[in-house]
Amino acid sequence: MNESTITEFVFLDFSGSYSALGFLFTLVLICYTILLLGNLLIMVTVWTDAKLFQSPMYFFLANLSLLDVSLGSVAAPKLLTDVLNGGGTISYAGCMTQILAFHLLEAVEMFLLTVMAYDRYMAICHPLRYATIMDWQRCSRLVILCWILAIIHGIFQTVVTAKLPFCGSNVLDNFFCDITQLLKLSCSDVHVSEILLVFNNGVILFPCFLILLISYVTILSTLCGRFGKRGRKGLSTCGSHLMVVFLFYGPLAFVYIKPASANQVDKMLGVFYMVVTPALNPLIYTLRNQEMKGAMGKLKNKCKHFLLPQQE
């Protein structure tokens, strides 16, 4: 039974210098603005373009953009407000909600990136069967499965954390609620809880990473024999996917697949994977994708036609 006497947590890092906090505020504000505008633009472009909307790759991309907006919104708005107020606190219930939302959404994104790798594998390595296998129903079911598995993961992480008693310090050495910091504040032995959390993270991370690795190794070996336009297009698409996978998995694995610690690198990586990475994703996918650029150009013309008065 949870015997916590703490009702709220205080974020320690708001006691830093004005220049450091100013830099943090500017970085998060710019990234969050790009995150919202870029990902919303991708979603609107896919949903309003019939050709893109019927493509599994862009269906998954629109879902990824929705996840990036949601994941970035878990901590960024409160972080910006706390910096302006010169300090930050969060209730116990709010902290657990933030943990649940973050771990649920990052797990959905992890599973979705794996599904996107499988989609590219089928499209490049089995093009004749691709349209039959990756139909609308299967794509929808894969996205639903991603959410179901992520909900289980998020609830497990939150329940294990919520069962820990907190009866001492309530100061979190971070900008947001983070499990690794909460483990340090617990007034009980957290060894078993730490093993359970690391094991749970590893159970979903390593299989997904293995599937990603096998998929892209197979894809790249297949594309090595194609030097035409189709091969270059496939390499460009897979290059974008691999860049997003690296940006997502790198910081996440460094922070969570190891015992709890407290250092500046972990805290900056936390800001990176919660705000910076979701802001980079739309840039990576749009700048390297001619179909998206063309569809965005059509959307721009539609908006001009709708907004500007017609000349008689």
Tell me, yes or no, whether 283 lies in a domain: yes
For residue 230, the model assigns a pLDDT of: 57
Residue 9, classed as helix, strand or coil, is: strand
Distance between CA atoms of residues 237 and 294, nearest Å: 15
Distance between CA atoms of residues 63 and 68, nearest Å: 9
Q: Which of 19-23, 66-70, 179-183 has the lowest mean pLDDT?
A: 19-23
Tell me, yes or no, whether 306 lies in a domain: no
Residues 153, 204 contacting (CB under 8 angstroms): yes
For residue 269, the model assigns a pLDDT of: 73
Which CATH number goes with the domain that contains 160? 1.20.1070.10
CA-based R_g, the chain, Å: 21
Average pLDDT in the chain: 82
The domain total for the chain is 1
Strand ranges across the sheet with 8-11 = 88-91, 8-11, 171-172
From the number of C-beta atoms within 10 Å of its C-beta (0-12, 13-18, 19+), residue 29 rates as middle
pLDDT digits (tens, 9 = 90+) for 173-197: 888 888 888 888 888 888 888 888 8
Residue 167, classed as helix, strand or coil, is: coil
Tell me, yes or no, whether 308 lies in a domain: no
Q: Which amino acid is at 84?
A: L
The count of other CB atoms within 10 Å of the CB of residue 248 is 20
Residues 180, 260 contacting (CB under 8 angstroms): yes
The count of other CB atoms within 10 Å of the CB of residue 239 is 13
Which residue intervals of 74-190 are DSSP H helices?
A: 76-85, 92-125, 127-133, 136-162, 179-185
Residue 163, classed as helix, strand or coil, is: coil
Q: Which amino acid is at 256?
A: Y
For residue 14, the model assigns a pLDDT of: 64
Tell me, yes or no, whether 303 lies in a domain: no
Tell me, yes or no, whether 309 lies in a domain: no
From the number of C-beta atoms within 10 Å of its C-beta (0-12, 13-18, 19+), residue 127 rates as exposed
For residue 107, the model assigns a pLDDT of: 93
Residues in the chain: 312
DSSP 170: -
For residue 312, the model assigns a pLDDT of: 44
Q: How far is CA 249 from the centre of its chain?
A: 10
Q: Which of 9-13, 56-60, 212-216, 221-225 has the lowest mean pLDDT?
A: 221-225
pLDDT confidence bin for 4, thresholds 50/70/90: low
Tell me, yes or no, whether 311 lies in a domain: no
pLDDT digits (tens, 9 = 90+) for 249-279: 777 666 655 555 555 666 777 777 788 888 8
Tell me, yes or no, whether 22 lies in a domain: yes
Distance between CA atoms of residues 276 and 303, nearest Å: 29
Tell me, yes or no, whether 304 lies in a domain: no
Residues 37-50 have a mean pLDDT of: 88
Show the domain range for 143: 8-296
Q: Give the pair of three-digit tokens for residue 55.
A: 């493509």
Residues 136-156 have a mean pLDDT of: 95
